[in-house]
Structure 1
Amino acid sequence: MSNTYLLLPALIAGVILLHLAGVSSAAGDRDTLVAIRKGWGNPRKLSSWDPATAAADHCSWEGVTCSDATGGGSGGGGGGRVVAELSLHDMNLTGKVPAAVCDLANLTRLDLSNNALSGAFPAAVLYRCSRLRFLDLANNALDGALPRDIGRLSPAMEHLNLSSNRFAGAVPPAVAALPALRSLLLDSNRFTGAYPAVEIGKLTGLERLTLANNSFTPAPVPLAFANLTNLTYLWMSGMNVTGEIPEGFSSLTELTLFDLSSNKLTGAIPVWVWRHQNLENLYLYENSLTGELPRNVTAVNLVEIDLSSNQLVGEMTEDFGNLKNLTLLFLYFNKLTGTIPASIAQLPKLSDIRLFDNHLSG
């Protein structure tokens, strides 16, 4: 008898065991979802999870996305399919994150944004989600300091959104100990002290970074962020940034949004800003920027420019008339002089222009 025939029964047995394991995991996930619902006090918006009336296939329940037990595929289904994603935003959920959430062993995405969750960052719960790649806790009422060991979150984490909560104290350096991060959103909290700029600057895969609207200790724009050459979105308004906009940020060639508004910036706007080919939204309003507007504007993809409430001087160049995608131009509360270029009146998409409180004519 050949070795092939000897191995065949073992292979069949293995396949059967894998199938049974998948079915067992799927059944366990159904029970876990019921426990999660109970942990939140059986909220009305999770009525599709009520075991008394719920569909037999838990993958069809509200906010639940499944995948094959082996890791392939997504969407609804039954049998050996396991829960991979929970999208429970805008569900009026209150209280704390139930401990059972990370009993979903295959969970990769957890969106709990826009609810009324409270209490401290649920570290003890979330550290058990070993496969989590996406975590969104934005727009809740979570408070207190972030744990110093927050780097114990899943090393696969790519998206971490903690914005619009009530987190306070210092941002721990360990928040940058997640090497796969592509999105780190910490804006609109109550953070104080110095944020870990050097550590964040080592997350070279970052594409989105928000630190805005926090009462950090006044400090210059960190040069370490010039290393984040994959950034497309940088929001640092209202966080006590001082000094000048670094020339080194010219390395951030992928930026589409650059927002340093409502800070304490001084000096001139660097030339590189006006030559940036991908930039769409430029917000530098409410600072103490000085110097003249550029003579040569080649950032033709600009859609919105807000430089209001600064101390800019000089004339507006005709080059602004080359910005065919421009919809908004705010230059009010500056010290601009000269005539308003006629080319601006020819911009096809410009719908909001505010130039008052300058010394312009024409």
Structure 2
Amino acid sequence: MSILCLVLVLMLSSASSTSCCTEHESNCLLQFLEGLSQDGGLSMSWRLGTDCCSWEGITCSSTVSKVAMVTDVLLASKKLKGSISPALGRLPGLLRLNLSHNSLSGGLPSEIMSSGSIIILDVSFNSLGRILPPSPPLTTGLKLPLQVLNISSNKFSTELPSLDAMVHLVTLNASNNSFNGQIPTDFCTNSPSLAVLELSYNQFSGRIPPGLGNCSRLRVLNAGHNSLRGILPDELFNATSLECLSFPNNNLQGTLEGENVIKLGKLATLDLRENNFSGNIPESIGQLNRLEKLHLNNNKMYGSIPSTLSNCTSLITINLGSNNFSGELVNVNFSNLPTLKTLDLRLNNFTGEIPESIYTCSNLTALRLSTNKFHGQLSKGLSNLKSLSFLSLTNNNLTNITNALQILRSSSSLTTLLIGRNFMNERIPDDDSIDGFEDLQVLSLSGCSLSGKIPRWLSKLSSLEMLKLKRNQLTGPIPDWISSLNFLFYLDVSNNNLTGEIPTALVQMPMLRPEKSAVQVQWHPRAFQLPIYRLTSLRQYRKANALPTMLNLGNNKFTGLIPPEIGQLKGLLELNLSANKLYGDIPQSICNLTNLLTLDLSSNKLTGTIPAALKNLNFLTRFNISYNDLEGPIPTEGQLSTFTDSSFIADAAACMLLPSVCLGLMVMG
């Protein structure tokens, strides 16, 4: 038998090596090559007179005969530019065509859309602008074999073309385009085998067609990030094979009806976030025992969380944030959710203490309970969450900050800790018993009215990138060890009672200087487990390095001169020294900070003239030097000319230049 197998292998390999494609197929492929303005090096392989079965990206059928047929044209991520030739649609045996992740433009030819052989067509991630409709002579009575059609991430901007002839279609991905109009109603009438329908990130409008409920084999339905309105039609829940039902970021409304929810027993993902749904979470949700991801955040839902949610033992993600849910969480037994990794309940009205059962979810990596009404001290059970990376408890009524830090230091995986607007009027601990936090990258203790000095234990946080201590009652100077935090690029200590001069240690912070030190080269910040928000911009941030490099010392009691060395911090995007007792000239070196987006030196005792070179700060979007004792002309060139007079006015000398503005300010006061 072994000899027979060897002979068979030799015969097949000999047949494969001697087989070659037809002249017609070679010509079709060369026509495609001619339509490219950048061929990614294909011309080195695709040469006239050679067997196209040996060309890069081409696969032919294995036959015993000397003639092979091109079955695969697989040219993904080849840096191709140009248009797609209709000739590819004339390859008689082509089964799979993959041109994804290139820079192809123009249209998708009708010859390809009408191919009588292609079963998988992927042109995703290009710049195609139109789909040419199949020509009538080719499609009259024709049933195309196409099973997978991926046209996502292009520039299509028409209504979705008719798929009448695609009776075998299993997967359609048209997401991330600009398709408009209503979602077609006859998807599953024409394509009864349809299992995956991806329509997200388009401009579809109107209501969800009830006909989607006829899709008996539909497993994935994703039409998020469109302009759909109305309710989820009852008929939709007849699609009982659904495993993913996803309509985030639309204008949908209505309630989740319990009798509909229980029909989707195979559901693994329910994503209805960022809509206008109201009402309660139905008790019947507990019957979705395959449910893994539940996203109902950013709606108008209310009521308590049903205890039956504990029956969804496969849950990995629960996001109910930004609603009006209320009550205590003790009725939900989180101990039944061993696979839970993310729990986000921010911006609701939950009360009581944080339930102990949450601390049994040993796989939890992200926990956000911010902006609720939880009270009491943190439980020692929190230290059981060894995988916890992201914790946000901001804006509750928690007490005993020393106890909280002693417990949290055991969470060795913690990278983001946001616990501000708690522990009101307590004293920040300043002893060496606070340690741990080796991997902590983001720490916020803002808005607590904490007293004391900036504690020395912060100097141990060697991975720290962002430190927010604003809106407290901290006193004393900024310690010199601040420059030892090699990764710190975001420091906000505004609205405190800090004193002394601006230390030279601040201008030695490695991440604010322009040099590409070894520390900076090695800096690869990890993504947050959950997005964080800046209240000033309402933007979401997924990585620390997406936030601007910041030094905010505003609203303190700093005195002395602005050190001229501050001009060395060329990595700065935001600099705020306002509302202190700084005096002397605005140092000329500040004009070297050419990347600045924000510069605020207002409400100090600065004197002298306004440096004319400030006009070279071309990226400034916020600028304020008002309420000082500056004199001389106001620069009117460059970026400074885009700001209103209020950015400069408030002192007596300036009022002589622009009295109308000063009068307005005095009247408003």
CA contact (8 A) 2:292 2:314 kept: yes
User: Which of 319, 323, 337 lines up with 2:333 in the alignment?
Assistant: 319
- Paired position in structure 2 for 1:347: 361
- Paired position in structure 2 for 1:141: 155
Bigger CA radius of gyration: 2
- Paired position in structure 1 for 2:132: 122
CA contact (8 A) 2:21 2:53 kept: no
Rate the CA distance shift 1:327–1:236 in 2: closer, same or farther, 3 A.
same
CA contact (8 A) 1:207 1:230 kept: yes
CA contact (8 A) 2:216 2:239 kept: yes
Rate the CA distance shift 1:152–1:58 in 2: closer, same or farther, 3 A.
farther
C-alpha distance after superposition, 1:260-316 (max 9, x if no partner):
010111110012223421111110000011110122311111011100000001111
Q: How many residues align?
A: 330
**Identity of counterpart residues, as a percentage?**
27
Q: Secondary structure at the match of 2:94?
A: strand
What displacement does 1:208 show? Answer: 0.7
- Paired position in structure 2 for 1:52: 47
CA contact (8 A) 1:261 1:283 kept: yes
Q: Distance in 2 between matches of 1:155 and 1:258?
A: 28
Q: Say if 2:319 is the partner of 1:306.
A: yes
- Paired position in structure 1 for 2:235: 224
RMSD: 3.2
C-alpha distance after superposition, 1:62-92 (max 9, x if no partner):
2x555568xxxx879xxx9932101221122
AA partner of residue 51 (structure 1): W
Q: Distance in 2 between matches of 1:350 and 1:342?
A: 14
What displacement does 1:348 show? Answer: 1.4
- Paired position in structure 1 for 2:373: 359
- Paired position in structure 2 for 1:283: 295
CA contact (8 A) 2:92 2:117 kept: no
Structure 2 unaligned blocks of 5 or more: 1-18, 64-70, 74-90, 377-669
Structure 1 unaligned blocks of 5 or more: 1-22
AA partner of residue 310 (structure 1): N
- Paired position in structure 2 for 1:154: 166
Q: TM-score, normalised by structure 1?
A: 0.81
Rate the CA distance shift 1:58–1:324 in 2: closer, same or farther, 3 A.
same
AA partner of residue 224 (structure 1): E
- Paired position in structure 2 for 1:184: 197
Rate the CA distance shift 1:50–1:282 in 2: closer, same or farther, 3 A.
same
What displacement does 1:137 show? Answer: 0.3
AA partner of residue 56 (structure 2): W
What displacement does 1:241 show? Answer: 1.2
Rate the CA distance shift 1:173–1:314 in 2: closer, same or farther, 3 A.
same
Q: Distance in 2 between matches of 1:250 and 1:173?
A: 24
Q: Say if 2:28 is the partner of 1:32.
A: yes
Q: Distance in 1 between matches of 2:219 and 2:172?
A: 12
Q: Distance in 1 between matches of 2:169 and 2:44?
A: 27
AA partner of residue 284 (structure 1): L
Rate the CA distance shift 1:94–1:334 in 2: closer, same or farther, 3 A.
same
Rate the CA distance shift 1:215–1:102 in 2: closer, same or farther, 3 A.
closer
- Paired position in structure 2 for 1:208: 220
- Point out 4+ residue stretches in structure 1 off by more than 4 angstroms: 23-27, 64-69, 125-129
User: Which of 150, 167, 171 lines up with 2:179 in the alignment?
Assistant: 167
What displacement does 1:107 show? Answer: 1.1
- Paired position in structure 2 for 1:193: 206
What displacement does 1:27 show? Answer: 5.2
CA contact (8 A) 2:316 2:339 kept: yes
- Paired position in structure 1 for 2:284: 272
Q: Distance in 2 between matches of 1:108 and 1:175?
A: 18
- Paired position in structure 2 for 1:335: 349
What displacement does 1:175 show? Answer: 3.5
What displacement does 1:220 show? Answer: 1.1
Q: Which has the higher contact order (CA 8 A, sep 6+)?
A: 1
What displacement does 1:117 show? Answer: 1.0
Q: Secondary structure at the match of 2:179?
A: strand
User: Which of 296, 307, 310 lines up with 1:295 in the alignment?
Assistant: 307
Q: Distance in 1 between matches of 2:245 and 2:117?
A: 32
